[in-house]
Structure 1
């Protein structure tokens, strides 16, 4: 993964904008923050645009929205969390969005793996590798030592 431009600068700009939204306390700014925090990708790359979310807050967004956001902000990938995914991580929008969820078997009933992302800089490029762990119930027992 390669970030085009200064990714720290982009993060600071996004953080400042979020801080302004929170400070204004207007209905519009509160809605924008909720949309940012609670929006999810659509179920598949074939669904485009924006749609109402079944969560009743936030929106569903298609891969076209992610790709436009990345192009406009000169970044290659968005990493998000807070949504259960079966293998602990999931790619969307041709790899431009990664969802990562670290809790295994969320609330004792989802049977999902948990994951984290290892991010390593190699030759001035950031490389992301997902690492996952299965829920305890799905792990194979370790062989007994000799």
Structure 2
């Protein structure tokens, strides 16, 4: 029985397209960066690893990211360097959103980055004030 469990574990690892340390969800690989850093440094580290800070396109993906965050506040890939929100991977921002305060759906002055709070809702945040973590994604 133990050998069967070992074989199934190995097969599951081989079947995953994600490298060690990354978790697969819906055909993409995600990784929690647990070090405290700014949005810019976190995104730079994600790019260095072949991804970006995560964009979130659905409630299911939002729930997955929340679970990966493990109750921590995390930077996600939303940022504004003008008058509208953009995702770090340049995908369309419009569609799904999960704002804690609907007034944040328009980028407030002085808080041009987005964090996911422990309840899974999004909040505008200062990019230079590091929360505890960030989530990277590799999409293919």
TM-score between the two structures when normalised by the length of structure 2: 0.28
Q: Which has the larger radius of gyration?
A: 1
Where is the helix percentage greater, Structure 1 or Structure 2? 1
If asked which structure has higher relative contact order (CA below 8 Å, sep 6+), I would say 2
